[in-house]
């Protein structure tokens, strides 16, 4: 119970920290809205050409675009969440302090990132989504159940997203500099999450592969659950399986990194 309260406090700290960047949040809302408009028009042209591409109709394609803009910062799809600070602490060696803290390193950073995600969702994600719903036809459910299931997939998506970025951040223990890893995070995040094109619309065997990678848990799953395109339970299992596998990998890497710090003496 006591440790639960600790991580809740860490999450609240993450929320508050991002809440202080007001101008940055407003700027982000503007940018996501602009990108949403650009993408919506290209998708509409694409779905005009080929209706029901990827099993979506036009309204669903539009919904997918705005959900992507809403989750872009929330899930730190191209990076820029907790892993950024973690990399910096590893690079400067301040991480040694964290290792002596009487808290679990992975849970600590996860809690902070969840707090950040919640703020990004409310502060930065909701407005572009609402803008989209106001000016473009969207396919949103009218009953409570899909929305409830959507909230669950979002939580799971947040954990998967963190687990991927946590692994990337730990690599700095060996690489000493995060520039390259960040680049990789960005590439994989944007492409394999389906920010460019819904993974459903990826053709052939390539599409099959992309749809089972962990990034599919980030945007595609929540979108399909919200629009009733997939069985929510199946989505939960998929996301949870990746979350567990990636978090476990994170722990393994973490203990290897810790040994390294101890050997080097910080």
Q: Which of 9, 26, 151, 256 binds other proteins (CB under 8 A)?
A: 26
Rounded Cα gap, residues 157 and 75, in angstroms: 7
Please tell me whether residue 2 binds other proteins under the rule CB under 8 A: no
Residue 167 CB, shortest distance to other proteins, in Å, is: 16
Q: Which of 201, 216, 223, 257 binds other proteins (CB under 8 A)?
A: 201
Rounded Cα gap, residues 215 and 164, in angstroms: 9
**DSSP secondary structure of 159-174:** HHHHHHHHHHHHTHHH
Residues of this chain, 89-148, that bind other proteins according to CB under 8 A: none
Q: Which is nearer to other proteins, 150 or 192 (CB)?
A: 192
Please tell me whether residue 24 binds other proteins under the rule CB under 8 A: yes
Residue 206 CB, shortest distance to other proteins, in Å, is: 8
DSSP state, 140? -
- Long-range CB pairs of 169-175 (<8 Å, 24+ gap) are 169/82, 169/83, 169/86, 169/87, 169/90, 170/86, 170/90, 170/250, 170/253, 170/254, 170/257, 171/253, 172/87, 172/90, 172/91, 173/90, 173/257, 173/260, 173/261, 174/260
Tokens 């980030």 found at: 218
Burial bucket for residue 50 (CB in 10 Å: 0-12, 13-18, 19+): exposed
Q: Which two tokens stand for residue 185?
A: 């995070």
Residue 22 CB, shortest distance to other proteins, in Å, is: 7
Q: How much of the chain is helix, strand and coil, in % rounded to 5? A: 80, 0, 20
Please tell me whether residue 181 binds other proteins under the rule CB under 8 A: yes
Choose the stretch contacting other proteins; rule: CB under 8 A; options: 125-133, 178-186, 215-223, 226-234.
178-186
Q: Which of 6, 12, 175, 241 binds other proteins (CB under 8 A)?
A: 175
Residue 13 CB, shortest distance to other proteins, in Å, is: 20
Residue 70 CB, shortest distance to other proteins, in Å, is: 16
End-to-end Cα separation, the chain, in angstroms? 32
Choose the stretch contacting other proteins; rule: CB under 8 A; options: 9-17, 40-48, 141-149, 162-170.
40-48
Please tell me whether residue 49 binds other proteins under the rule CB under 8 A: yes
Rounded Cα gap, residues 154 and 74, in angstroms: 10
Choose the stretch contacting other proteins; rule: CB under 8 A; options: 8-16, 35-43, 103-111, 142-150.
35-43
Please tell me whether residue 38 binds other proteins under the rule CB under 8 A: yes
Q: Which residues bind other proteins (CB under 8 A)?
A: 21-24, 26-28, 30-31, 34-35, 37-38, 41-42, 44-46, 49-50, 53, 175-177, 179-181, 183-184, 186-187, 190-191, 196-197, 201-203
């Amino acid at each position: 119970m006591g440790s639960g309260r600790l991580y809740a406090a860490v999450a609240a700290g993450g929320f508050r920290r991002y809440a202080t960047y007001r101008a940055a949040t407003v700027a982000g809302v503007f940018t996501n809205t602009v990108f949403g408009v650009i993408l919506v028009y290209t998708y509409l042209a694409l779905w005009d050409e080929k209706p029901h591409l990827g099993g979506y109709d036009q309204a669903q394609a539009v919904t997918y675009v705005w959900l992507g803009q809403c989750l872009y910062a929330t899930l730190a799809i191209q990076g820029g969440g907790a892993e950024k600070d973690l990399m910096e602490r590893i690079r400067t060696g301040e991480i040694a302090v964290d290792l002596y803290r009487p808290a679990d390193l992975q849970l600590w950073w996860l809690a902070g990132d969840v707090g950040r995600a919640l703020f990004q969702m409310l502060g930065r994600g909701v407005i572009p989504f609402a803008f989209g719903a106001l000016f473009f036809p969207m396919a949103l459910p009218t009953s409570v159940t899909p929305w409830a299931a959507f909230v669950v997939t979002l939580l799971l998506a947040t954990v998967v997203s963190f687990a991927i970025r946590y692994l990337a951040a730990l690599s700095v223990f060996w690489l000493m500099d995060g520039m390259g890893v960040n680049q990789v995070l960005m590439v994989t995040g944007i492409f394999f999450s389906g920010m460019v094109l819904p993974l459903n619309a990826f053709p052939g065997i390539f599409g099959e592969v992309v749809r089972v990678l962990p990034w599919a848990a980030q945007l595609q799953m929540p979108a399909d659950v919200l629009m009733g395109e997939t069985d929510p339970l199946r989505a939960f299992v998929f996301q949870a399986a990746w979350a567990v596998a990636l978090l476990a990998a994170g722990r393994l890497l973490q203990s290897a990194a810790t040994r390294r710090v101890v050997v080097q003496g910080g």
